[in-house]
Amino acid sequence: MQRAFYFLFFIPFLACQPSAQKTEEKQSVDSTQTTISRTDSSVIDLVEKKATLGKSETIAITNDPVFHKDKTFEAIPLVNVLKQIPAYASLKPEETQVVFECEDGYNPSMPLTKVINSKAYLAIRDKDAPAGEDWTTLQKGSETKKIAPFYICYTDVKGEDPSYKWPYNLVRISLTSASKETAALFPKNDDSVVKGYGLFKTHCLTCHALNGVGGTLGPELNKPKSVTEYWKSEDLKAFIANPASYRDRVKMPNLGLKKKEIEEIVGYLSYMAKQ
């Protein structure tokens, strides 16, 4: 039994290795106080911490919105897990956003106050799983969805309420501080650009403003026109990758970002163009 447990623990851990590096985002220029970098102090790697996440209990969900039936899980109160994030104690809940990071890149988020005021749980095991396994997979049409290693659910919230997120295949949770000002920049209507927002906040907001919020060393990037409206997308990405390749004596540094990160930032800027 013991050995089987460690075996199950190590497989997902190894599978997560390459993406674990994503949390170590470079902190280049960081001077404004409104910018909270995504450092390790605001993230919990659930797979790595699996053995010490806390005491679990059995919970029942009526009409689970992911499985479309009543379910029972072994689960840990989510607040107890969030409290293990070092930054938790120093953040104001009303100015904090919880970002759920799934293995497939899906990053839904919700306000921390909503999590605290609901009976939110981190499910660690599906009670309906076959003997010896923690989870069942989910068949959605022709697609097989992996629920492991973790799933977020609520015992007091209706599945139809879109303001509550029920992410599965969850591997990490991070807290993003959104002061009243930066809250205006958070992509409330599009989960797919949350990562781009985080990257923009870490790497760009120190020098650039969007809608007047942010640094002033570089030009405003969204008002009255977004840079995505008057730069060709390919040039914009190439400029961000290496500003000096476009302008001599340019004051914007080469931030050493990866191609994927730049794409996520530009995706976020395109979203903001409509805000």
Figure out which of the listed residues 255, 264, 271, 272 binds ligand HEC, where binding follows CB under 6 A. 255
227 binds ligand HEC (CB under 6 A): yes
Minimum CB separation of residue 90 from ligand HEC in Å reads 25
Figure out which of the listed residues 8, 29, 53, 184 binds ligand HEC, where binding follows CB under 6 A. 29
Rounded Cα gap, residues 43 and 173, in angstroms: 6
Minimum CB separation of residue 205 from ligand HEC in Å reads 8
Which 234-253 positions form the footprint of ligand HEC (CB under 6 A)? 236, 239-240, 247, 250-253
| Segment interacting with ligand HEC (CB under 6 A) among 68-76, 138-146, 164-172, 215-223 | 215-223
Half-sphere exposure of 127 (CA within 13 A, CB side): 12
| Segment interacting with ligand HEC (CB under 6 A) among 12-20, 40-48, 56-64, 212-220 | 212-220
Letter for the amino acid at 15?
Answer: A
Contact criterion met (CB below 8 Å) for 135 and 85: no
Rounded Cα gap, residues 152 and 122, in angstroms: 5
Which token pair is 240?
């961000």
CB nearer ligand HEC, residue 60 or residue 244: 244
CA distances from 47 to 8, 20, 51, 152 (A): 11, 10, 9, 14
Which token pair is 199?
């990257």
DSSP three-state, residue 231: coil
| Segment interacting with ligand HEC (CB under 6 A) among 76-84, 130-138, 140-148, 198-206 | 198-206
Minimum CB separation of residue 213 from ligand HEC in Å reads 15
Minimum CB separation of residue 20 from ligand HEC in Å reads 22
Which token pair is 188?
């409330």
The sign of the CA dihedral 168, 122, 166, 106 is: negative
- Residue ranges that bind ligand HEC, judged by CB under 6 A: 29, 203-204, 206-208, 217-219, 221, 227, 236, 239-240, 247, 250-253, 255, 265
